[in-house]
Structure 1
Amino acid sequence: MRISVPTIPAAILSSTSSAKPISPAAAVERIASFLASGNVATVTGAGVSVDSGIRAYRGSKGRYLNPNYKPIFYQELVDATKKGFAFRQRYWLRSYLGYKPVRDALPNTTHYALAALQYTNIIPKLITQNVDGLHHKALAGIWDEARMNQHILELHGSLHKVHCSHGHIVDRDTFQDRLSVANPQWKAYMDELEATGQRPRTNPDGDVFLEGVDYGTFKVPECPDCLLESRLNSILKPELIFFGESIKREVRDRSQLDVENCSRLFLVGTTLATYSAFRLVKHALELKKPVLLLNVGPTRADPLSGVEKIELPSGTVLRDAVRTVLGSRAIQDSVVDAMLHSGVVRPPIDDD
């Protein structure tokens, strides 16, 4: 079976935008009106994290920012042969260098605006395609991990845990330390990059762009838990969904149930190129639920009747929309007030 990288149909990329021009002030009022009744399920994508310094896969024209982007597919990563080990060397070297910028990224104003809506139960369920954990960071100290996991569904998993093919799980920072010990020369290279302020081009999943590198020099350590069981096993992957890998049934079912139980669906910063997210929009439309899309550039949902689109960056309008929805509570509730005064704005340089 041939598996390809999800994309937006060429006919959509070449067509004129379906979104009517709108001023930021009018967009604030429209978004606030859409959210006001509450019980809004929300789906977020890579565009939400751009102001945190994490590049999106696609630019404002809907095309990949890196035209030579060649991800490693699930079947390649878990291949038990020497060929598969070479794929793991390539993946883990690039991920080793790219993980720290994603791990250290801070929530931006959009993350905190959405967190305020979650905290006030305007958005009882948030489904994110992102694996950076920034929605959780925005609620850290307000909700415990159990409550966050109850209200936030990571559709494509998380970059912050690693598991082997026999089910042993380790947190990513610990695994990162293991990679450093096994690869002192690459640890020195990463330290040099950090000292000079340089940073390889990083994708949203922590995978960096490298040229002219001998991946064969990178050592992928064996799983220590498997070694204790008298087994050699270097087949390790982060707890995220790779291209060609199926989403767990319980995650798929929960995402669909979240859409079924909501009154309306709000989409933020996503092109909906992956079917796992696009099908949620189709399901909402089948159930006759209102759908509002806030995104810059073409999306897979543009031709769909019933999807209202506002083509503006979320960072320019969403915080003011939340203030409008919450009214006096935005000032009187100290937690909400703090959220609406929080968030970095550090977009990558020359992103498009």
Structure 2
Amino acid sequence: MSRLMRISIPTIRVVPQITPGPPPPTVAEAVERVVAFLAPGNVAVLTGAGVSTDSGIRAYRGVEGRYLNPNFKPMFYNDLIEDSPRGHSFRQRYWARSFIGYPRILATRPNPTHAALATLMRTSHVSQLITQNVDGLHHDALRTKDPELHSRILELHGTLHKVHCRAHHTVLRDEYQMQLALLNPYWAELEESFRRTGNKPRTNPDGDVELEGVSFDDFEVPACPECQREGKVEMVMKPEVVFFGETISQQVKDRSYEVIEQADRLLIIGTTLATYSAFRLAKHALELSRPVLLLNLGPTRADGLPQLEKMVVSSGPVLQEAARQLASSRLSEDANLREVLEGGIVTSIEDV
């Protein structure tokens, strides 16, 4: 049966405040609980934007559940793909801002949470990982080209590192970025000036930046190169990211449910679960009587769900120590695994 998932925000959702619960656990208490939760293995993990904040990537929402940027105006799918002068204008705005912002996302590095989860995937304590993030940092943290390990990561909302047209011809983002630079030398100089001077515009989690008082009217958006090779002209290009108002593919929907159904328990990290595509996975796990443990610093959409266990903790120190304890026997013998666990770097948002 078809399962419907849609990313939509008819209004900017604010996660409601809840009655304060018990005091947050100490790091030691949280580590003990996470170790016990993960020790049996076959755990699915669901991550959100909070996991990447220690890599310098802003989350959409703060610890109070409110949008960190009150002026945030998301790009809607129908606006981006509209085949009209209006749609072209939206694409000029999106790609100009993304052209400036993408190098900052590309320069980010996995943090201790990414490193701990990569370690736990290598030791099979974590069987599969679903992420709402589009930055690719869970893949980077694995430090391997092993396709089997990478296949166990499902990017629920897509990735910034690929671009496709409406015929679903795919091009790597690095290649498309070069085309954007060649067609827009002024913008290439502007991006270089930001890099050189350290005058960094605010970068959003989806990879675009805040640019005030700038006209996008002259920005050139490249056509699909594969369509051109076929003698066609296709100007509607978008990153392989699920935009607001866009439906997640049936294949991704089905696989996300399979991950939950195949796992014995679910660990949720760094997300308010405000998007229903993620929230319904937590609900599905509970409906299947799977134990669910949520680590998040602020309120979430799942607060108050029966049987859901929540700890208000920062995931980095807790998961890193939990992974160290769970993988202790292998860490003493496997230098590569030690490099994975120790490979996380905390980066300030101001440094990106």
Give the TM-score taking structure 1 as reference length.
Answer: 0.94
| Deviations 1:261-319 (CA, angstroms, capped at 9, x unpaired) | 11100001111111111110000000111100111111111121111111111112110
- Tell me, in whole angstroms, the C-alpha distance in 1 between the residues paired with 2:334 and 2:112: 18
Q: What's the secondary structure of 1:239's corresponding residue?
A: strand
Segments of 5+ residues of structure 2 without an aligned counterpart are 1-5
Farther-moved stretch of structure 1 (322-331 vs 20-29): 322-331
Asked if the contact 2:14/2:67 (under 8 Å) is kept, the reply is no
Summarize the Cα distance change of 1:190–1:157 in structure 2 as closer, same or farther, 3 Å threshold: same
Map 1:26-37 to 2 at 5 A: 26-37=29-40
- Tell me, in whole angstroms, the C-alpha distance in 2 between the residues paired with 1:8 and 1:306: 25
Quote how far apart the aligned CAs of 1:233 are: 1.9
- Tell me, in whole angstroms, the C-alpha distance in 2 between the residues paired with 1:7 and 1:24: 33
Aligned length: 347
- Tell me, in whole angstroms, the C-alpha distance in 2 between the residues paired with 1:118 and 1:247: 25
- Tell me, in whole angstroms, the C-alpha distance in 2 between the residues paired with 1:2 and 1:45: 14
1:176 correspondence with 2:177? yes
Q: What's the secondary structure of 2:114's corresponding residue?
A: helix
Quote how far apart the aligned CAs of 1:328 are: 2.8
Structure 1 residue identity aligned to 2:151: Q
Identical-residue share of aligned pairs (%)? 52
Q: What residue number does 1:42 align with?
A: 45
Quote how far apart the aligned CAs of 1:3 are: 4.9
Q: What residue number does 1:305 align with?
A: 306
Asked if the contact 2:110/2:138 (under 8 Å) is kept, the reply is yes
Q: 1:111 aligns with which of 114, 123, 128?
A: 114
Farther-moved stretch of structure 1 (335-344 vs 157-166): 335-344
Asked if the contact 1:41/1:124 (under 8 Å) is kept, the reply is yes
Q: What residue number does 1:338 align with?
A: 339
| Deviations 1:169-198 (CA, angstroms, capped at 9, x unpaired) | 110001001111111101001100100112
Q: What residue number does 2:9 align with?
A: 4
Q: What residue number does 1:267 align with?
A: 268
Q: 2:83 aligns with which of 74, 80, 85?
A: 80
Map 1:1-352 to 2 at 5 A: 3-4=8-9, 8=13, 12=16, 14-18=17-21, 20-141=23-144, 143-144=145-146, 146-349=147-350
Q: What's the secondary structure of 2:332's corresponding residue?
A: helix
- Tell me, in whole angstroms, the C-alpha distance in 1 between the residues paired with 2:77 and 2:84: 14
- Tell me, in whole angstroms, the C-alpha distance in 1 between the residues paired with 2:22 and 2:131: 23
Summarize the Cα distance change of 1:72–1:18 in structure 2 as closer, same or farther, 3 Å threshold: same
Farther-moved stretch of structure 1 (265-274 vs 326-335): 326-335
Segments of 5+ residues of structure 1 without an aligned counterpart are none
Asked if the contact 2:42/2:127 (under 8 Å) is kept, the reply is yes
Structure 1 residue identity aligned to 2:264: S
Summarize the Cα distance change of 1:220–1:192 in structure 2 as closer, same or farther, 3 Å threshold: same
Quote how far apart the aligned CAs of 1:325 are: 2.2
